[in-house]
């Protein structure tokens, strides 16, 4: 599982499976679920992510492996 924030486009992508998406369904404006050829969900894309979620900190827990915490750098004015 990978979580990527693309600052240039303000898009958050949660990759659930490292497989190619062949179809997508926009469940609500700005939120798209991507599917592989077998119809399995491979990722979720969220546009305007900074408006929809607090991106200051990502907290995850209860995973079987190690967890890394990445803090967003302070904005440059």
The rounded distance, in Å, linking the Cα atoms of 13 and 43 is 7
pTM of the model: 0.73
- pLDDT interval class at 77 (50, 70, 90): very low
pLDDT value, residue 63: 67
pLDDT value, residue 70: 57
- Going by C-alpha positions, the residue among 68, 64, 58 that lies closest to residue 14 is 58
Q: What is the mean pLDDT of residues 33-49?
A: 96
Q: What is the 3-state secondary structure (H, E, C) of 3-71?
A: EEEECCCCEEEEECCCCCCCEEEEEECCEEEEECCCCCEEEEEECCHHHHCCCCCCCCCCCCCCCCCCC
Domain ranges for the chain: 2-52
């Amino acid at each position: 599982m990978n979580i990527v924030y693309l600052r240039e486009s303000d898009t958050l992508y949660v990759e659930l499976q490292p497989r190619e998406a062949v179809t997508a369904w926009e469940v609500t404006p700005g939120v798209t679920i991507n599917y592989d050829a077998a119809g399995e969900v491979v990722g979720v894309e969220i546009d305007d992510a900074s408006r929809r979620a607090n991106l200051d900190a990502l907290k995850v827990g209860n995973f079987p492996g190690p967890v890394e915490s990445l803090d967003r750098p302070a904005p440059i004015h």
